[in-house]
Structure 1
Amino acid sequence: MNAKITTFLNSGLLEKYLLGETTSAETEMVESYISKYPEVQNFYNTLQYNLEIVTKSNAVEAPKNILDNILDELDDTPVVPLNATKKYKSWYKLSIAASIAAFLFAGTSYLFYQQNQKLNEENQVVVDEIFDLRSDIEANNKKLDEVMDQFMELNDPNTYKYIIQGNSLAKDLKTVAYINPKEKTSMIDVVSLPELPEEQCYQIWAELQGKMVSLGILSEADRQLKMIPYTEDALALNITIEPKGGNTRASLDHMVAEIELH
């Protein structure tokens, strides 16, 4: 790989291009490099793959029916009809008309009071819905920031990728560990875990010199990138079958997967 391509790959322009943050001139340059150099094309494909992994593993469903609920609340606000007061030509009916008018005024006032109370309640519902929506947006923005951090971590040249596959005790087991000794971070992506009896679970361990340190329990429900404790000077990662809830000591006779670390 020549110095020109190396300089380009280290510039970060490919990452910016993938995230849609390049200028028009930078976009033209990136697309030119991708079309001319196979090394750049391969690196770009790797970035796309890693972004897809991060995005899928952190996919979050957007809030449902919030906008519909707000519109329904607004549409349900009733229109109050105003009753016209009849005119009477005869003076002897004035007293009756006055009584009727007073009754109608009192009834209408009470009706308006009820409708106003209901409208206040409906407005409060709308305010609560909007507040919840804003909270969801803030939570999603925070989640997006976490996704981008994971994406950058995957593409850090100091991050090592380890594919951990099961032995004869768990042939379909497959997980991928990402370890960055420079940043002292560890992540794991659970790809597949064979089903266990309810009273058992999978537990992952870091092997030190003569010692096994628990890094947590693995579950099929955790099929997404997640952080695990970083262990300095770990020699290997091991996965064992343990009693439900985990164990304080690794059951080495029930080890189902292991991989040595660099």
Structure 2
Amino acid sequence: MNEKINTFLNSGLLDKYLLGETTSAEAEMVESFIIRYPEIENTYNMMQHNLEVVAKVNAVEAPKNILNNILDELDETPVIKLNKTKSRKKWYAFSVAASIAALIFAGSSTYYYNQNQKLKSDTVVVDAEIDDLRNDIAQNNAMLDKVMRQLLKLNNPETEKYIIKGNERAKDLKTVAYINPKEKTSMIDIVSLPELPDEQCYQIWAELQGKMVNLGILDKADRQLRSIPYMEDALALSITIETKGANAIASTNKAVAEISLH
């Protein structure tokens, strides 16, 4: 390979020509070298082939309607005869442009597909959050309704309030009973309960015609206004300390608080 050919190949003009980045003067010179020197023509053909392979590997099949539209346009376009070198350059430029367009189309399609999938995912999350919010609202409305009903009962002029305090055995014990004899309802609000051993519990009783009736267990964890059974003509309320599971009969000797209702 003579020095002139070697100098030309090392100049980078052939690479620029393949990429369509040469000026008109540079393009004319490259084309003349390709025609005059077989070594340069072979190198050009090899480089063109390699570039086409790369373009095909990265290309994405275009929609069929695009190909049909291009063919229709070609049928309507007058054919212009070009010399061998010019035709080769134009066709190569077209193939590179088509490959680049295909890559852009593929990238855009992938981008919009990913955006669409993300939007669907976000929509599912939002729908789930809306369902959770609706459930929370429903629960809050139910709770609010319960509280309002309780307030109506407490604010009823017929409702009588009884504060039950502990004796020496349970000085920190304090509960409040609300009894409405007209509507026959009873509620109790646990304010404070001293700690007990695990095997013991507090239990509330109603004194009725000489006997004690079980109204339920008082639990420190249940510190809220709650209903208890209403006992007609009850004379008193009493709180005792009982052994868990053995509380059918009140242990009057273990009473820690009591109050008369009449």
**Which category of TM-score, normalised to the shorter sequence, fits these structures?**
0.5 to 0.7
1:102 aligned onto 2:116: no
Distance 1:203 1:253 in 2: 13
After TM superposition, list the pairs within 5 Å mapping 1:1-262 onto structure 2: 90-244=90-244, 247-262=247-262
Distance 2:163 2:152 in 1: 19
In structure 2, runs of 5+ residues without a counterpart are 1-88
Amino acid of the residue matched to residue 179 of structure 2?
A: I
Whether the aligned pair in 2 keeps the contact of 1:160 and 1:180 (CA below 8 Å) is yes
- In the TM superposition, residue 177 of structure 1 has moved relative to its aligned partner by 0.2
**RMSD in angstroms over aligned alpha carbons?**
2.2
For normalisation by structure 2, the TM-score amounts to 0.60
Q: 1:245 to 1:137 in 2, by over 3 A?
A: farther
SS in 2 for 1:247: coil
Q: 1:248 to 1:114 in 2, by over 3 A?
A: farther
**Following superposition, which runs of at least 4 residues in structure 1 exceed 6 angstroms of deviation?**
none
- In the TM superposition, residue 108 of structure 1 has moved relative to its aligned partner by 2.9
- In the TM superposition, residue 246 of structure 1 has moved relative to its aligned partner by 7.0
SS in 2 for 1:204: strand
Percent of counterpart pairs with the same letter?
70
Deviations 1:62-84 (A, max 9, x none): xxxxxxxxxxxxxxxxxxxxxxx
Q: 1:129 to 1:215 in 2, by over 3 A?
A: same
For normalisation by structure 1, the TM-score amounts to 0.60
Amino acid of the residue matched to residue 260 of structure 1?
A: S
Q: 1:145 to 1:139 in 2, by over 3 A?
A: same
Distance 2:93 2:173 in 1: 93
In structure 1, runs of 5+ residues without a counterpart are 1-88
Distance 1:112 1:176 in 2: 65
Q: Which one has the largest radius of gyration?
A: 2
Q: 1:184 to 1:94 in 2, by over 3 A?
A: same
- In the TM superposition, residue 251 of structure 1 has moved relative to its aligned partner by 2.4
Q: Which has the higher contact order (CA 8 A, sep 6+)?
A: 1
